Amino acid sequence: MQTMIVDFIDQFGYLGVFLLITLENVFPPIPSEIVLTFSGFMTLHSSMTLTGVIIVATAGSVAGAIILYAVGRLLSVERLERLIDGKVGRLLHFKRSDLEKAERWFVKRGKSTLFFCRFIPIVRSLISIPAGTTKMPFIQFLFLTAAGTLIWNVVLVTLGQHAGKAWTQVAGYVDTFAHITLIVLIVLILAGVAYFVKTRFGKKAKK
């Protein structure tokens, strides 16, 4: 995939950066660390500038985030409640109160969560969905998304430029961070699921 990304940016320049970053936000497995660090390196060997790459990458990040925000709006709380009230909810033992707790938590801490999650690989993309589902004000969503992704992009593009031909090493370090983050997230999710099953099904068994 790295070769394809490099060739795409080399051929299409700013447009390539924009499209890849937009796609990365919708399809997280595309490594933004390669796109951004290589783009930073290309500022030394093409007409692209550091400022230009950062602006285009941030625009692409916001565009991709808007798509997932729209998906979240389609998955409204009301629709999720109907889903929970149906067979799926009964099968998984989900209750409306579970959804209400999650909604209250995100409404209360959504701003800081959205901003800081923009620095966490994979989560930085998916966080847009609950923002849409809980109907976070769109302007607020745009501001926090742009601010968070701008910082992420500035760091990686600048590192890529300063690293020069060693940009692949920088991308490798960020990729390692992404994998560690993914493992931690999987462990936390599994622990959360285990706790939910134990408490919910355990109570049912005692009855």
The pLDDT of 72-89, averaged and rounded, is 66
pLDDT of 186 reads 73
Q: What gap in Å lies between CA 98 and CA 88, rounded to an integer?
A: 14
pLDDT of 71 reads 87
| Range in 20-24, 28-32, 70-74, 194-198 the model is least confident about | 194-198
CB neighbour class for 130 (10 Å; exposed up to 12, middle 13-18, buried from 19): buried
For 37-69, write each residue's pLDDT tens digit.
Answer: 888 888 988 889 999 999 999 999 999 999 989
Q: What are phi and psi of 132, to 5 degrees?
A: -75, -40
Above 70 in pLDDT, residue 179?
A: no
pTM of the model: 0.74
Q: Structure tokens of 26?
A: 């919708």
Q: What gap in Å lies between CA 116 and CA 123, rounded to an integer?
A: 10
Nearest residue to 75 via CA among 13, 132, 2: 132
Is pLDDT larger for residue 13 or for residue 172?
13
The answer to whether 124 and 117 are in contact (CB under 8 A) is yes
Q: What gap in Å lies between CA 43 and CA 100, rounded to an integer?
A: 48
Q: Mean pLDDT for the chain? A: 79
The pLDDT of 180-198, averaged and rounded, is 67
Above 70 in pLDDT, residue 102?
A: no
Q: What gap in Å lies between CA 188 and CA 61, rounded to an integer?
A: 26
Is pLDDT larger for residue 34 or for residue 157?
157
pLDDT class of 101 with cuts at 50, 70, 90: low
Above 80 in pLDDT, residue 15?
A: yes
The answer to whether 148 and 114 are in contact (CB under 8 A) is yes
For 125-163, write each residue's pLDDT tens digit.
Answer: 878 888 888 888 999 999 999 999 999 999 999 998 888
The pLDDT of 179-190, averaged and rounded, is 71
| CA angle, 122 then 127 then 132, to 5° | 145
The half-sphere exposure of 89 on its side-chain side, counting CA atoms within 13 A, is 14
Is pLDDT larger for residue 40 or for residue 76?
40
Percentage above 70 pLDDT, the chain: 70
The answer to whether 18 and 54 are in contact (CB under 8 A) is no
pLDDT of 59 reads 96
